[in-house]
Structure 1
């Protein structure tokens, strides 16, 4: 019988294939870089096949065979991890660890109510939380470091099973003396009339805002998207920039309903025209043995939707 790779070797290989950097892959696997590198080399000797192309210097480049084996390794590790998870889920549904990832434009406004309702309904669930950008959360989900994500859709969520919860409308926020203040709602095609404050790269709200702004003709009349004058690290920073008169911004209702504009000289007006909302939803790995649990959790979390959603 051919010797089988260990689960740890598969984790090293998957992390390296995802991150393409030995240092970051080692950090994800909670080992030193030398340990991960030695593990990959041991796997190559065991398989008697080169998985990495080491003729290209310091860059991490997989051979065609290495790329194919990494894909198989991901499937094999997921199947292996599913065995104890399936047994645990059958014994005691909705108990044990739940590693939940949340994006920053949702987390501060939904985490308190999420923690409270999960503790009330599922007291034996051991919840841990990670806040990060969509891209990083999806990466951690694929590597098995997280179990379920709370995301804003549409997003590039290929390779996951998604479950929509509710729609979160978009508003345009502006200083109290802004010309749009006289409008009951702001047409999306008029957004280009003023500078926009947007989230920095990596946040899905930025991409959703840019998609909406593409409906609006550029003031210069040139093609392509114009760069925002100011970018924010968080929705709280965005509100501060708007209050200072640096521009207007698109803000989700979830943040407004949770008081982000309280005591600020800012008005909010509904955004009109096109897809003027995002969808709050859950994502998990396809064919997860805990899919039934996650579906139950989705039903519970849906009760957190605002009555206006």
Structure 2
């Protein structure tokens, strides 16, 4: 048994899919499957039930996963503690998911650097599932995430709630309105991101609430692709408010509209391991980020209605 085997098992438990777990661990699917078979042989128990298109943990597997998480967290803190003694505590490794990072980081990095001038800030942009794995394994000190997390080894601090806006092509019947009522979207089709983005799940839930459906003939790999498709008149989509700041777009070819009396939004938080020696610095960074958001969102509202 080695540490990588435990990482493979935890990734599979999180993803419930061999292909996605292998991608996160940066190995081939056969390699991951073979190593987990060896781990089962070594322990003498079945850890997973291999059902077509699904993976379910056995009772023994759930117990081993819980223990593996604790072992990986302890190993991460051991490495971080040693790094701190070498002076590495002046380095913060922060992960952010891709539908937020390009719109948030340019605004929050300068004040963080001003507050911690001697700290090296290493930034990672990855999907939320990858960030969770990297945080648990000690590759990251903190991660900014927008999907709920229940992890006994981690703490989190709420940063802000980010509203969703509706992006529609110029000339669309809704483009002349100041607001969108949920009923305006009944039976409409919305373009969404591909599988693996937390924003996709959030947009799907909002779509269900307003009676809209997904446009199944197209799935984007990024918000910028969605934006350009809307500007080209192909369809409409949800965009998070920070992606609609003046610096992020020029509104040519489309409009972005807020929802009237509807709270379609995502809750963004910063997560870290409870035993991290960087807890105080991470929490203070969280306070800096939270303090920047109201003016950013206000700036976006002023630009849309100027």
TM-score by length of 1: 0.76
Are 2:240 and 1:247 aligned? Answer: no
Q: Answer yes or no: is the 8 Å Cα contact 1:15–1:143 preserved in 2.
A: no
Structure number having the greater helix percentage:
2
Change (3 A) 1:217 1:131: same
Deviation at 1:52, TM superposition (A): 5.2
User: Deviation string for 1:82-114 (max 9, x for gaps)?
Assistant: 346457769979612x22111111111122233
1:157 to 149, 153, 162: 149
1:28 to 25, 32, 50: 25
Matches for 1:195-206 after TM superposition, within 5 Å: 195-206=189-200
Alignment partners' CA distance in 2, 1:54 and 1:281: 31
Q: Answer yes or no: is the 8 Å Cα contact 1:172–1:248 preserved in 2.
A: yes
Are 2:109 and 1:122 aligned? Answer: no
Aligned residues: 289
SS of the residue corresponding to residue 215 of structure 1 reads: helix
Larger radius of gyration: 1
SS of the residue corresponding to residue 168 of structure 2 reads: strand
Alignment partners' CA distance in 1, 2:242 and 2:22: 35
Counterpart of 1:227? 214
User: Deviation string for 1:162-207 (max 9, x for gaps)?
Assistant: 2121222221111221111222110123223532121222212222
Q: Which moved more, 1:165-174 or 1:63-72?
A: 63-72
1:18 to 11, 29, 38: 11
Deviation at 1:67, TM superposition (A): 4.6
Q: Answer yes or no: is the 8 Å Cα contact 1:18–1:139 preserved in 2.
A: yes
Alignment partners' CA distance in 1, 2:37 and 2:105: 38
Counterpart of 2:90? 95
1:269 to 248, 257, 280: 257
Change (3 A) 1:259 1:50: same
Change (3 A) 1:195 1:30: closer
1:73 to 47, 68, 76: 68
Alignment partners' CA distance in 1, 2:131 and 2:108: 18
User: Deviation string for 1:4-41 (max 9, x for gaps)?
Assistant: x8xxx23432333423759966983899x989978995
Counterpart of 2:303? none
Alignment partners' CA distance in 2, 1:30 and 1:142: 18
SS of the residue corresponding to residue 275 of structure 1 reads: coil
Alignment partners' CA distance in 2, 1:73 and 1:248: 44
Alignment partners' CA distance in 2, 1:180 and 1:35: 49
User: Deviation string for 1:24-74 (max 9, x for gaps)?
Assistant: 66983899x9899789959976xxx42557998xx9997754552342232
Deviation at 1:242, TM superposition (A): 0.8
2:247 to 241, 244, 259: 259
Counterpart of 2:271? 283
Change (3 A) 1:176 1:144: same
TM-score by length of 2: 0.76
Alignment partners' CA distance in 1, 2:274 and 2:195: 28
5+ residue gaps, structure 2: 299-306
